[in-house]
Amino acid sequence: MPPRLLHQPDLRLEEDGTASRYVELEITVGPSGRATDASLVDPSGDALESRALEAVDELRFSPARRDGEPIAVRIRYRVVFHPMKVVAPEPAPPTPAVELEEVLPPVASELDALLEDESYTATAEVERPAREVTRHSLDAEELQRVPGTRGDPVRAIEVLPGVGRTGFGDGAPRLRGSAPFDSMVLIDDDPVPSLYHFGGLTSVVQPGLLQRVDLYPGNFSARYGRRGGGVVSATLRDPKSDGFHGMVDLNAIDASVRAEGPLAEGVAVVVGARRSLLDLYFGAFVPEDTYALIAAPVYYDYQALLRADLGDDHVLRVSAIGSHDSLELFFDEPPDDAPSISGGTSARQAFYRGRVSLDSQLSPAWKQHFSVSYGVIDQLFNIGGTASEALDHRINGRLEWMGPLASNLRVSFGGDFLGQIVHGTYSGERPPQTEGDPTIGSPDNGKVEVDDLYALMQPAAFVELRYRPTPGLLLQPGLRLDYYSQLARVSVDPRLVARWTVVDGTVLKGGLGLYSQPPVYWESATGLGNEDLDVSRALHSSLGIEQALPGRTSVHIEGFYKHIFDRVVATDGGVAPFFINDGAGRIFGTELGVRARPLDGMSIYLAYTMSRSERSDRGAPFRLFDEDQTHNLSTAFGYHWDNGWGVGARFRLVSGNPQTPVVGSVFNANVAGYTPIFGGINSVRASLFHQLDLNAEKKWSFESWSLTAYASVLNVYNHQAEEGRQYSYDYRESQVVTGLPLFPSLGIRGEL
């Protein structure tokens, strides 16, 4: 039995007449009768498209059924807008096309014929129109097909505008010239400490479990706070409920498994796990005269999610995710460039999180979202005479309501909460400022030992309006208030976004907003920093245009400026109170993004960002930020045939990061080693980075399962990218530290 219409709103155009207009959507109608994954069939930028997506919230229908059991179907639904005054009766709109996807098992031809004669609507939990000036989204299919990412879902953001290049071994996002710790990574709206495993090759979530990744490089919604950079938000998909499914994936980097299916009517679950394989052969690539390897880099992660439909109006989700990385090396003799290092180095980073959320349809127009999570972050770092370890217990919560106040006015309001209890120990040099200090790691910084237990609370409240004074114009003011218990301070951040559909396919957009961020732990911790610090702040502004072109092509051009003030920097000479709010920064640039699907199966991405990121310490002249990247070009091409073959390529060209040169050295008897003499901070650059990546795959589909073989080659022509510089013990000689070499990977994946 196909879905049945229960309720639909009366949608009207602004003008009188006899002609109706419509917008076609694709939606997945779940077993509860709700719809998810709403998307535009052929987006053009028409103002009606946003109204159509909003209207889906008010649609109601009963679910499709097979053998009496509710099932999920993917359908094409036509949202019709009638004139303000209908002069003559109109014929019924054409029946929407219906397309069944893999969520629905094969059915008899009689049911297929029945479906062709039905009209469909849905109660939908759809992606709302953009809250931000700039949101770049990649859906589940795109996430696994973007070339050069090894099918890794989060790495796909690197082909989007505003995303800087991360170095090998580091996976924290660089968004519009901001520092890595200035941006936030979310999984299902909960912050997580890391984006990638050690080495930066693989993200912490299995590719097949993601529904969507959204990138907000700046001017993001008042729903998010405590960060002055940008946001990367990953959303896990719901488990499949149409039967048992499984997956096994084996490649040169790691092995993963996944299983999912229904547990009862309206209840489904998915579980997955992955472990690295690098430690099985990593030792063969390590020179014997460098160090003795005790344990290779090892990582594993797991995910589990249960969805339960509690009647027609409530959906419960329970999830658990975890990630663990470890690295341990042992030096037989101290390295020449660091005579003070002995013994070895070890590192561990792990996080584990459990989450419960409840989404409720309070009325045909009003929704409520509630979520709470508890997690632990376990971090350890030990090299030579510096050792730190922290166990961080976190509680995150969110409560939000969304609905209309008038026909052209909607509101979203609520609050979120972060609570932490942390026990940490530290023994080593006094921490310098997080950026712009080339003496990091120097024994001249003095030694401190700290054993600290602290707790903090950071509650917040927010409100956001969506006002349409005319059909083509959206004004979105927002306000966020945050309290920081460790600082006993409150931040008030007003924000405004505007989007104007000038003509069909052309959207002008702009935004202005204030963003606040508390200091990192050691900057305000007792014994390490200044307990009287304030939050740092950033003013985001941007202006741009989105243009839809023929051939399913969209172009995005945007200029942006960020002004950073009250930035935390070290005191002059590193004396007490060690850190103060006396730094500033400025980031400005232009982004160009192009996404095209000129042919079925073909995808083209192009992103270019030209920007400059500068900082000023204690009123000094502006200098380059440690990771300023003036030019950042990324382009990708992919093509998939109906016979299961697919190929892709990605090329990147990026300015080298600024570096502080060493111009000499002196012998320091206190530490029995040489101390470098530095030139101007960030006064030289590393060489230009460029890299070509290729991938190919072949998928064989059988009656109830599929098999995919795939291959990828990163850094095809083996460019020796400069990631840093290594010095001899007396700093008289140096050599370039290179990044990822040519890296081939083969894999095979079976899916049921």
Report the distance separating Cα 168 and Cα 187, nearest Å.
23
Residues 213 and 323 in one domain: no
Q: Are 507 and 501 in contact (CB under 8 A)?
A: yes
Instruction: Supply the DSSP string of 400-421, one letter for each residue.
Output: EEEEEEETTEEEEEEEEEEEEE
Report the distance separating Cα 702 and Cα 710, nearest Å.
17
Residues 93 and 169 in one domain: no
Is 402 a domain residue? yes
As given in the structure block, the two tokens for residue 355 are 């989450």
As given in the structure block, the two tokens for residue 527 are 């014994």
Q: Taking residues 525-536, report their average pLDDT.
A: 89
Q: Do the bridges between strand 314-330 and strand 706-714 make them parallel or antiparallel, or are there none, so unpaired?
A: unpaired
Confidence check: pLDDT of 94 > 80: no
Is 569 a domain residue? yes
Residues 118 and 141 in one domain: no
Residues 370 and 441 in one domain: yes
Residues 161 and 57 in one domain: no
**Number of domains the chain is built from:** 3
| Listed range (81-95, 590-604, 667-681) with the worst mean pLDDT | 81-95
pLDDT, tens digit (0-9, with 9 covering 90-100), for 432-451: 888 988 876 555 566 788 88
| Listed range (114-123, 225-234, 339-348, 661-670) with the worst mean pLDDT | 114-123
Residues 519 and 604 in one domain: yes
Q: Taking residues 386-392, report their average pLDDT.
A: 89
Report the distance separating Cα 456 and Cα 19, nearest Å.
60
**Beta-bridge partners for 588:** 561, 612
Confidence check: pLDDT of 151 > 80: no
Residues 296 and 389 in one domain: yes
Confidence check: pLDDT of 286 > 70: no
Closest CA to 540 of 516, 557, 519, 520: 516
Residues 216 and 325 in one domain: no
Is 281 a domain residue? yes
Q: Mark which of 62, 96, 125 sits at the end of a domain.
A: 125
What's the chain's average pLDDT?
A: 83
Interior/surface letters 620-643, b for 16+ CB within 10 angstroms, e for the rest: eeebbbbbbbbebbbbbbbbbeee
C-alpha to C-alpha distances, 542 to 219, 590, 629, 697, nearest whole angstrom: 8, 9, 19, 40
Is 67 a domain residue? yes
pTM for the structure as a whole: 0.80
Cα angle 306-311-316, degrees, rounded to a multiple of 5? 25
Q: Mark which of 74, 103, 125 sits at the end of a domain.
A: 125
Q: Mark which of 188, 210, 234 sits at the end of a domain.
A: 234
Closest CA to 419 of 485, 354, 463: 485
Residues 149 and 114 in one domain: no
What is the model's pLDDT at position 248? 96
What is the model's pLDDT at position 79? 83
**CA torsion, ordered 434, 439, 443, 445, to nearest 10 deg:** -60
Sequence-separated (6 or more) residues with CB below 8 Å from residue 519: 487, 529, 533, 535, 536, 568, 579
- Give the 3-state secondary structure of residue 641: coil
Report the distance separating Cα 505 and Cα 554, nearest Å.
9
Confidence check: pLDDT of 384 > 70: no
Q: Taking residues 498-516, report their average pLDDT.
A: 94
Sequence-separated (6 or more) residues with CB below 8 Å from residue 94: 78
Is 240 a domain residue? no
Residues 375 and 503 in one domain: yes
Length in residues, the chain: 752
Q: Taking residues 739-749, report their average pLDDT.
A: 87
Closest CA to 103 of 206, 6, 29: 29
Most confident of 15-24, 81-90, 729-738: 729-738
Most confident of 9-13, 125-129, 440-444, 491-495: 491-495
Is 634 a domain residue? yes
What is the model's pLDDT at position 272? 95
| Structural domain span for residue 92 | 4-125
What is the model's pLDDT at position 226? 95
Q: Do the bridges between strand 123-125 and strand 34-40 make them parallel or antiparallel, or are there none, so unpaired?
A: parallel
CATH number of the domain that residue 173 is part of: 2.170.130.10
Residues 685 and 538 in one domain: yes
| Listed range (178-192, 254-268, 380-394) with the worst mean pLDDT | 380-394
CATH number of the domain that residue 550 is part of: 2.40.170.20
pLDDT, tens digit (0-9, with 9 covering 90-100), for 557-574: 999 999 999 999 999 888
Residues 496 and 642 in one domain: yes
Confidence check: pLDDT of 328 > 80: no
Is 130 a domain residue? no
Cis amide bond preceding 91, omega within 30: no
Is 241 a domain residue? no
Report the distance separating Cα 514 and Cα 538, nearest Å.
6
What is the model's pLDDT at position 23? 86
Percent of the chain whose predicted confidence (pLDDT) is above 70: 80
